[in-house]
Structure 1
Amino acid sequence: KSVVHADGVAQLPDENVAEAVQRLPGISVERDQGEGRFVSVRGLGPDLNSVTINGTLVPSPESERRAVALDVLPSELVQSLSVIKTLTPDMDANSLGGTVDVKSLSAFDHKGLFYTGSTEASYDKNTHQTSPKFSGAASNRFSLGD
């Protein structure tokens, strides 16, 4: 099992979960328009791996594939990323390569006020269009009068 925590993800300029998880051993990424999209584990294609978010299996949004696109999950909203390359008895037998488990941030992970965010933009000079991208999270824990 290989794990990268939020501290490790925050130190590098990864735009999404696929690019953050590629830093673990045995992981490669299929790119679409220069951005990481699908994850391969141990050389097996993305269709032969499974993805879970907080332990819940994520189905593929595409009817022709089993692969789950991880480019839609911003890396700022991740508590930890785990890649399990060998199935254990408590896991479903639905992946030959491995399982990518994404643990999302929780409001209870931090004491008091916490916020994080990022803003990005890209410009396509062929179509003269700008594509903005925003992501963020905020939480605050209050005392109930002790």
Structure 2
Amino acid sequence: MLRVSKLTDYATVVMTCLALSESDEILSAQQLAERAHLEVPTVSKLLKQLAHAGLVESKRGVNGGYRLARVPRSISVADIVTAMEGPIGMTECCAHSGSCHHEPHCGVRVNWQRISQAIRVALEGVTLADMISVPSRRPIGIPVNVAIA
């Protein structure tokens, strides 16, 4: 099964909590943990990684905390996944060329790269604003005229 890690899932939840707050509101790790129903140490760890990636801004001091570094429509799910897990790639060679000694004669690498690119494009096509909006009846990326079983 392909899936993102729990921390990446939780990072998305924390980012949606920030996106749902007032644009100038600064939230502490404690407040975010309460809103996301997560433990404070977990949220603190997530916020550190998200800040390092430039997705959230931190403010120190008594009234310190965190807020989004950009508007929700300019932050993609791909940005969050990359911040938490590194480059998006189905195999190591898709994310880091030259990391496998089989690469020069691999017959499947090109197709893994195509698949990785499709996943990357799909994740880039969903923004944080999309994540907080009311979901549509059809999955993202499925044309209207395609039947879903």
User: Could you state the TM-score of these two structures normalised by the residue count of structure 2?
Assistant: 0.30
Higher helix share: 2
User: Could you state the TM-score of these two structures normalised by the residue count of structure 1?
Assistant: 0.30
Higher strand share: 1
